[in-house]
Amino acid sequence: MRTYACAVSEPDTGAELQAFRRAAHALVDGVADHLAALPSRPVWQPLPDAVRERLLDLPLPERAATLDDLVATALRDVLPHAMGNGHPAFFGWVNPPPSAAGIAASLAAAAMNPSVVAGDHADVHVERTVVRWLAELVGFPHAPGGGLLTSGGSAATIVCLAGARGRALAAVGHDVRRDGLAGAPRLVAYVPAEAHSCVRRALELLGLGSGSMREVPLDAGRLDAVALRASIAADRAGGAVPALLVGSAGTVNTGAIDPLDALADVAIAEGLWFHVDGAYGGFGVLDPAIADRFRGMERADSLALDPHKWLGVPVDAGCALVQRGDDLRDAFSLIPPYLRQDTGAPIGTFAEYGPEQTRPFRALKTWATIAARGRAGLAAQVARASRLARELAALIEGEPELELAAPPETSIVAFRARPVSCPRARLDDLNHALPEAVQARGRAFVTGTVFDGRETLRACILHPDTGSEHLATLVSEVVATARELARA
């Protein structure tokens, strides 16, 4: 029998693991201290120049650092300088704090480090369950293969619209996977003006072009179905192929819910793929006070959700749900021999339903976040946020130097400042400058947008610890800052 010399030295796993255990304990303690201190610190502050420079100019290390050193550096130079969304007075964009369960689960998922594609390992089964849970949470029909986790709402939208594109072109005998778009008829997408930019980006990436978009005629949240159907008929008469209709279950600017039921009716009557963007607001359906407004979402061909928004799953965690998993499989499945994996089930591997081959274990933190609160706990959290949004709207209406831009439907409140000392002609400039000026003061964080053609502030309430006191702080900070800007 031949023997082979082995050049690899025995790893000192005992010492390595001991070092890991010590450093990880210190990290957990440091993270817990950081979380505990957040509410008493400024919401956000610019980095001190020295820290920014230290981070930017880090030289590539030649020699190994100890884990203890890495933990100390991360706790000193990184954690204290976050974007602010851990603070209950953070109202910016659509960024909640991470759930504690999700933070803990992230460590376990990293320790496993699987590629979640197929096979009889726990991560694959947990993702299947989590996708089903997400569908159940929002009342979307689900069969195995009817969705997958993605990096976020934008990626989920690309996945869903790839399904829509493939189905529409297959119906006219065009094989887009083989032939690309060369020789294909022009597809048309009907998209509300307030839809998130990720829809346009998906259409651009999929080769449909932003020129394929027609605006859905909505007036104060009501669909003019006659006008929409006339526009569809005109496109058909012109030789184009109406393919896609989009609705938002919570717009990013004002949190408005499009008339999903009426949109679903048109999509079904016209044979269009109906896609609902529920990335921000889809989980709003858990609030019994507004659940009715989401009727029709369950009839969508596809639904984009973002557990990393309202649910507070640590980034990244998006989800694409579809009625027919085969629409995604037809769009994405590609199995070269070196990737064959016999799943033993009629549904394919996760890699056959989306663009990622190596896939991270997003499901564990999502599973943990949902399980740590339960459906009832999440529903209470969602309902509370929308209640707070109504409370904030009432505060704004009671403040003569502010005005509501739109009544809140979910947990986003869009509003403007109008300090008495500011001439009307300067109000747009003032509201444009206002969010950053408020952010710089460090007591509340709000961001801006353009709504109805005017500069507007939007406050998005997602933090489970946000309370009336934080709403009051936001209002007084915005009013005080607006007065300062008006004086300047």
Ligand X SMILES: Cc1ncc(COP(=O)(O)O)c(C=O)c1O
**CB atoms < 10 A from the CB of 14, how many?**
8
User: Residue 327, exposed/middle/buried by CB under 10 A (0-12, 13-18, 19+)?
Assistant: buried
Q: Does 356 bind ligand X (CB under 6 A)?
A: no
Binding segment for ligand X (CB under 6 A), chosen from 123-131, 273-281, 366-374, 378-386, is 273-281
Q: Shortest distance, CB of residue 279 to ligand X, whole angstroms?
A: 3
Is the Cβ–Cβ distance between 457 and 434 less than 8 Å? yes
The DSSP 8-state label assigned to residue 249 in this structure reads B
- Residues 78-81: contacts with CB within 8 Å, 24+ apart? 79/30, 79/31, 79/34, 80/34, 80/41, 81/45, 81/47, 81/51
User: How do beta strands 318-322 and 402-406 pair?
Assistant: unpaired
- Select the residue interacting with ligand X from 123, 194, 277, 287 (CB under 6 A): 277
Does residue 252 belong to the site contacting ligand X (CB under 6 A)? Answer: yes
Count the site residues for ligand X by CB under 6 A.
14
Compute the least distance from the CB of residue 282 to ligand X, in Å: 9
Give the nearest distance from C-beta 146 to ligand X in angstroms. 20
For ligand X, the closer of residues 281 and 348 by Cβ is 281
The minimum distance between CB 309 and ligand X, in angstroms, equals: 7
Contact 257, 284 (CB under 8 A): yes
How many CB atoms neighbour CB 100 within 10 A?
A: 16
Q: Distance between CA 267 and CA 282 in Å, rounded?
A: 19
Residue entry with tokens 């969602």: 382
Say whether residue 279 binds ligand X (CB under 6 A). Answer: yes
Considering only residues 137-196, where is the footprint of ligand X by CB under 6 A?
A: 152-154, 196
Q: Which residues pair with 244 in a beta bridge?
A: 189, 273
Q: Structure tokens of 335? A: 């199995």
Residue span 318-347 as binding mask against ligand X, x where in contact by CB under 6 A, dash where not: x-----------------------------
Nearer to ligand X, 318 or 354 (CB): 318
With CB under 6 A as the contact rule, the residue among 27, 71, 94, 331 that binds ligand X is 94
Site for ligand X in 291-310 (CB under 6 A): 306
Question: Which residues on neighbouring strands pair with residue 318, listed in sequence order?
Answer: 150
Contact stretch for ligand X (CB under 6 A) within 26-34, 46-54, 123-131, 274-282: 274-282
Length of the chain: 488
Q: For residue 403, which amino acid is it? A: E
Q: Which is nearer to ligand X, 353 or 402 (CB)?
A: 353
Q: By C-beta, is 94 or 379 nearer to ligand X?
A: 94
Which residue, 456 or 481, has its beta carbon nearer to ligand X?
456
CB of 278 to ligand X, least distance (A): 8
Per DSSP, the residues of 347-407 read S--GGGSSS-SS---HHHHHHHHHHHHHHHHHHHHHHHHHHHHHHHHHHHHT-TTEEEEE-
Largest CA distance in the chain: 94
Minimum distance from residue 255 beta carbon to ligand X (Å): 9
Smallest separation (angstroms) from ligand X to the CB of 314: 13
> CA 444 to CA 88: how far, in whole Å?
9
Q: Which stretch binds ligand X (CB under 6 A): 38-46, 110-118, 225-233, 272-280?
A: 272-280
Nearer to ligand X by Cβ, of 145 and 250: the residue is: 250
Which residues make up the interface to ligand X (CB under 6 A)? 94, 152-154, 196, 198, 248, 250, 252, 277, 279-280, 306, 318
